[in-house]
Chain A
Amino acid sequence: MSGLSESCKTTEVDGCWTLPVILMNIWCYGMMLFWTLLCIMVFPFVLGLCKIVLRWPVDRLMRWYIWIYGRGWLLLMSPFVHFRREQMQHVKPGQPALFVVNHLSFFDTYCMGLLPVYDIIFAVRAWPFRMFWYSQFMRLARYMNVEDSSWFETMENCKQAFVNSGAVLFFPEGSRSRTGELQRFYSGGFKAAIDAGVPLIPLVIDGTDILLPPGRKQLRPCRIKLRALEPIDTGDFSGTDGPLRLRKLAKERMAKALVEMRADRKDR
């Protein structure tokens, strides 16, 4: 563990190509390509088999498959990245909820494989839908393009997900942070949670800004932590200022948790 820790520290310098970094980039990019191609190729067979055995709707199967893909990614990265999840007792399978999570890296979405639930619809901007190798899977999973859809459409889709005991996940910052600090939060996700009457569960991720921050292609060894905060009952946030109050409360709690998690990072 201490070796990994040292490696994290030494690779924080921009452009540093130490041996672990070189090995990591060869291994991780190669295996990611292999894993992605494998998952795409076997998908029709898995879908057909699971449809017969599990009899789930296609969109739910697709979300499960994407979650499995994320878990596989975690496994492939594990020789160089230490993953840790905290306070996951707050996340209960089969209970509708709306997750909000801070955004540090392209790989944040993959890290959602750390969650103990798979039935999550991601609400994202338009650009992820332009990655042709993922876009069809995202559409099948009924992921939401909040940039190109009307707000009323997004709300209806959220409500449908909650009716089916699923969850929806928003990145309230809308884009990756370039400083590592929380940016301004959009209110959409908070309004969705209040309007649907489901609990809001803030998630805080730390470490992916070392793995791959915006503007860099070199992967670096690191520790990634995903912490679930205590669910917030949105019933207490009625009224026209409800979404703004909920947004403020969630952001305060997330900022506090992020400070705690980073203090822990420095202690190592």
Chain B
Amino acid sequence: MTEQEVIELIDSSLAEEFELDRADMTPDANIYEDLGLDSLDTVDMVIVLEGAFDFKIREEESVRAIRTLGDIHQFVLQKVVEHS
């Protein structure tokens, strides 16, 4: 998958799960303040990403540090490289 395809899959998966408006999903969008997610959504986010990319996410500290959609892109891109 290309980087752009990975980002597209992340955004489409999150948009479907959390009913997000794609127009709001810019890389610098804060997932809590701009996209309206809350701390309990973190688990759902992990589950959705695991399902979309078929890998396990166990890096708790990295997940907790995520603040923006761009952070999610970078986190997943790194995981994809590790698993390729």
Contact = CB atoms under 8 A, between A and B. Distances in A.
- Bound together: yes
Nearest to B63: A151
Contacts of B39: 147-148
A191 B64 CA distance: 18
B41 interface: yes
Interface in A170-186: 174, 184, 186
B60 interface: yes
A188 B51 contact: no
Interface residues of B, number: 17
Chief secondary structure at chain A's binding surface = loop
A184 B43 CA distance: 14
B40 A174 contact: yes
B42 A244 contact: no
A147 B47 contact: no
* Interface SS of chain B: helix
**Size range of the interface on A?**
10 to 19
A240 interface: yes
A86 to B, nearest CB: 29
A222 to B, nearest CB: 29
B43 A151 contact: yes
B34 interface: no
Contact of B50 (A148, A174, A188, A240): A240
Interface in B12-70: 19, 38-44, 46-48, 50-51, 54, 56, 60, 64
Nearest to A153: B60
B50 A186 contact: no
A146 B51 contact: no
Contacts of B50: 240
Interface string A126-165: 0000000000000000000011101110000000000000
B40 A244 contact: no
Contacts of A213: none
B60 A188 contact: no
Contacts of B43: 151, 186-188, 191
Interface of B: 19, 38-44, 46-48, 50-51, 54, 56, 60, 64
Query: Which 9 pairs from chain A and chain B are nearest by CB?
Result: A188-B43, A240-B51, A240-B50, A241-B51, A187-B44, A186-B40, A243-B47, A152-B60, A187-B47
13 contacts: A146-B40, A147-B39, A150-B64, A151-B43, A174-B40, A186-B43, A186-B44, A188-B43, A188-B44, A191-B43, A240-B54, A240-B56, A244-B47
